[in-house]
Amino acid sequence: MTSDNAARYFAAGTVPKFDTRWALGHVFIFKSSDGLYFAIQVPTEEMWRRLCQVSELKQVSRDPMFSTRHKRTEAYERLKQQLQGIFITKTRQYWLDRLGKFDVPCGPLNTIDQVYEDPQVLHRGMLQEVVHGRAGRIKLTGNPVKFSDTPTEMRLPPPSRGEHTKEILRELGYSDEDLARLRAEGVIC
């Protein structure tokens, strides 16, 4: 989960779209019949062989255009189209269960709103709320590092622009006159 996506979601409710082509031609994102997305990764011949054991995919496995890793990379779009035509026929959970039986690396792709409704994410305290002086109650991504003896806690909201400028510059030796001059010059707010 990325904090910039989470911040946009928390602030404006914007749910980012999935990128459908990853840099390597061996990672695929598919849409299932229930409109949900999932990813599979088949970077090795062994993983490709396991994918091809899934009965619904045997026809794809017989195509000579996909017989080697190199050929699958060259024909990525065609392979993706053929697989998408199969994966759209059943639900995401069906495919995750089915592919999992053959040890094909796969998993759900959740939108950012789904991430923050996930029981494990909530259990781990990855959704935090704090009161901000100007914005009121805001949601933030929690600390992913968890310690049993020293639990992390989010006590303060992120500062507003310039909120601590005066205190920090004073600690660095700036006088009230220096601060007034910097403010007048537009250097600080």
Can you give the pLDDT at residue 40?
A: 94
Backbone angles phi, psi at 33, to 5 degrees: -65, -25
> Distances in Å between the alpha carbon of 154 and those of 56, 110, 136?
48, 25, 15
How many Cβ atoms sit within 10 Å of the Cβ of residue 24?
A: 10
Answer yes or no: pTM beyond 0.75.
Answer: no
Please state, in angstroms and rounded to a whole number, the distance separating the CA atoms of residues 56 and 89.
Answer: 10
DSSP notation for 100-131: HHTT--EEEE--HHHHTT-HHHHHTT-EEEEE
Residue range 141-179, pLDDT digits in tens: 999 898 889 888 888 888 888 889 999 999 999 999 999
- Topology of domain 18-110 in CATH is formyl-coa transferase, domain 3 (3.30.1540)
Please state, in angstroms and rounded to a whole number, the distance separating the CA atoms of residues 61 and 56.
Answer: 10
Where does CATH 3.30.1540.10 sit in the chain? 18-110
Percent helix / strand / coil, the chain, rounded to 5: 45, 15, 45
